[in-house]
Structure 1
Amino acid sequence: MTETDKMLAHTEDGVGILTFNNPERHNAVSLDMWEAAGTLLEGFAADPAVRVVVLTGAGGKAFVSGADISRFEDERADVAAYERYNAAVERTTALLAAFPKPTVAMIRGYCLGGGVAIAVCCDLRICSDNSRFAVPAARLGIGYAYGGLTRIVDLVGPAFAKEILFTARQFTAAEAHQMGLVNQVVAHDELDAYVRDYAGQIAENAPLTVAAAKVAVGEAVKDPGERDLARCDAMVRACFDSRDYVEGRRAFMEKRKPEFEGR
């Protein structure tokens, strides 16, 4: 298996699916995988046929188990290598955090370290009931970057964030749901069908409306002085000026399913 094979992407009915495909290492992520993931996400962002993106892991045992430590001798051997690795991680997580379309992390099994960092960059997280979550940085002597920390705090609040980071222990799916780290917990054998239907519902909705809602929610969690309300207003006006708004009204009156185009 080449490094390129370790990141897979395909599209199904308006849903782009990005798969971390390194199951022999529980989908631990190498430098090449981080770089490939960023490129594939850019492709999904530019493709008008893709309305929602699902991220998942291959093999059935893990979403992402963190960094591929077996590659550290090569990928973090010196300062230049370390900086290249960090640049790839920051590029991909920044792309994901600011992605223009809805993103869903479909989590089965282990979601550890960098896996949690990826998951919290997504808009929504759905996991199987046998999933396990942890940020083990405190057991490895690794410093956790501020950007990743703030995303965890934004989701679960400071008290749970401290528990995750201070203890470095594994949390069950039920605990992750209780603290707000995941949106839904689904039976292991029902996860694929559930997420397929869930993403499909989003993909069928008006893309401009969904995009406007995503931006507005993102602005709402910023400090008041940093909010771009003009951008929010412009996106709302674009919805009312769109062909999709006409289609939505007509479909409602005609009692049929709307066919939105994203324009």
Structure 2
Amino acid sequence: MAENQAALDRRIAVHRDDNGVVTVTIDRPEKKNALTFDMWRALAEAILAYGGDTATRAIVLRGAGRDFSAGADIGEFSELRGDAATARRYEAANSAAFAAIRNAHVPTIAAISGICFGGGLGIAAACDIRIATEDALFCVPAARLGLAYPVDAMQDIVHSAGIQMACYLAYSTDRLGAVDAKRAGFLLETVGDLAQLEARAAEIAGNIARNAPLSVRASKAAIRAVLSREPADVEQALELGNLTFGSDDYREGREAFRQKRPPRFEGR
């Protein structure tokens, strides 16, 4: 698949390497990667396009430059989020992006540096795995703006950081450092600087990409079923798990183990 030009034109840059690792970059560093309404829609489109492509094995989300994302561009709010009707439309675009990340068939990794506020934190919370530089800062400033945070995004924060931390972030609007975010379980790990962040994100994504895609997808579905407890999610997880038993990849995994060589998985 060629790069999504429409998304690229709207400050969402997408690149997939030869191993199937897709990097999605929020590319507006002059505004701390704050997302415009069009950028929210472009982000959802890019994740849907690449997350549903069988050639994709993992997705890394990052911000261009120093910051991950300052969230939604407040400069648009008077015009595009000025009353209940426009606010609902704007929130729908936010939720579509969060849902695309949350529901992607492949694992998603947030590589976070600098500011990760508001909708930016929502993007990170929707990912499966989060790593950050030691100077990263996290904040949910909705109450300082007089807004409510979307329910689905709050669900992601509760799942990723825990109930008490979600309450603290939402009620206080205080900034949380990377050390405390890791202690809360929101971050898998922290690294020293941007270069280390990029290297570690690439390492994690590369490790995932080398594994059997059907197995990884089944594991993601199983984790989702545990969190949601929805019968439909449980059923899907069972179906995806069953697909692995008769797959070529399962046969390849057994043969590679027998021959003491690295497996070559095709995703079928």
Q: Does the alignment reach a TM-score above 0.5?
A: yes
Question: What amino acid maps onto 1:144 in structure 2?
Answer: Y
2:217 maps to what in 1? 211
Question: What amino acid maps onto 1:35 in structure 2?
Answer: R
CA contact (8 A) 2:221 2:233 kept: no
Residues in 2 aligned to 1:77 and 1:150: alpha-carbon distance in whole angstroms: 25
- Going from structure 1 to structure 2, the CA distance change for 1:73 and 1:3 (only over 3 Å counts) comes to farther
The one-character-per-residue Cα deviations of 1:93-141 (angstroms, maximum 9, x if unpaired) are 1111111110000101110010111111111101111111111112111
2:179 maps to what in 1? 174
Deviation for aligned residue 1:18: 0.6
Residues in 1 aligned to 2:158 and 2:187: alpha-carbon distance in whole angstroms: 13
Matched, 1:74 2:105: no
Residues in 1 aligned to 2:23 and 2:220: alpha-carbon distance in whole angstroms: 19
Matches within 5 A, 1:80-229: 80-188=85-193, 189-223=195-229, 226=231, 228-229=233-234
CA contact (8 A) 1:3 1:33 kept: no
Structure 1 vs Structure 2 CA RMSD: 1.7
Question: What amino acid maps onto 1:24 in structure 2?
Answer: E
Deviation for aligned residue 1:74: 3.2
Question: What amino acid maps onto 1:246 in structure 2?
Answer: R
Deviation for aligned residue 1:205: 0.3
Aligned-partner SS, 2:22: strand
Deviation for aligned residue 1:79: 5.2
Question: What amino acid maps onto 1:40 in structure 2?
Answer: A
Question: What amino acid maps onto 2:56 in structure 1?
Answer: V
Question: What amino acid maps onto 2:138 in structure 1?
Answer: F
Aligned-partner SS, 2:76: helix
Residues in 1 aligned to 2:41 and 2:130: alpha-carbon distance in whole angstroms: 23
CA contact (8 A) 1:220 1:227 kept: no
- Going from structure 1 to structure 2, the CA distance change for 1:182 and 1:81 (only over 3 Å counts) comes to same
Residues in 2 aligned to 1:168 and 1:221: alpha-carbon distance in whole angstroms: 26
Residues in 2 aligned to 1:157 and 1:67: alpha-carbon distance in whole angstroms: 23
Residues in 1 aligned to 2:244 and 2:200: alpha-carbon distance in whole angstroms: 29
Q: What is the TM-score when the length of structure 1 is the normalising length?
A: 0.93
Residues in 2 aligned to 1:256 and 1:139: alpha-carbon distance in whole angstroms: 56
The one-character-per-residue Cα deviations of 1:13-72 (angstroms, maximum 9, x if unpaired) are 210111100101100010010111111112102322211001000012x10111111122
Deviation for aligned residue 1:152: 1.3
CA contact (8 A) 1:102 1:214 kept: yes
- Going from structure 1 to structure 2, the CA distance change for 1:82 and 1:162 (only over 3 Å counts) comes to closer
Structure 1 moving runs of 4+ over 6 Å: none
- Going from structure 1 to structure 2, the CA distance change for 1:135 and 1:78 (only over 3 Å counts) comes to closer
Residues in 2 aligned to 1:142 and 1:3: alpha-carbon distance in whole angstroms: 30
Aligned-partner SS, 1:257: coil
Question: What amino acid maps onto 1:10 in structure 2?
Answer: H
Residues in 2 aligned to 1:41 and 1:69: alpha-carbon distance in whole angstroms: 23
Q: Which moved more, 1:113-122 or 1:88-97?
A: 88-97
1:256 maps to what in 2? 261
Fraction of identical pairs, as percent: 37
Q: What is the TM-score when the length of structure 2 is the normalising length?
A: 0.92
Residues in 2 aligned to 1:151 and 1:181: alpha-carbon distance in whole angstroms: 10
CA contact (8 A) 1:4 1:32 kept: no
Aligned-partner SS, 2:169: helix
Matched, 1:9 2:14: yes
1:27 maps to what in 2? 33
Residues in 1 aligned to 2:77 and 2:150: alpha-carbon distance in whole angstroms: 18
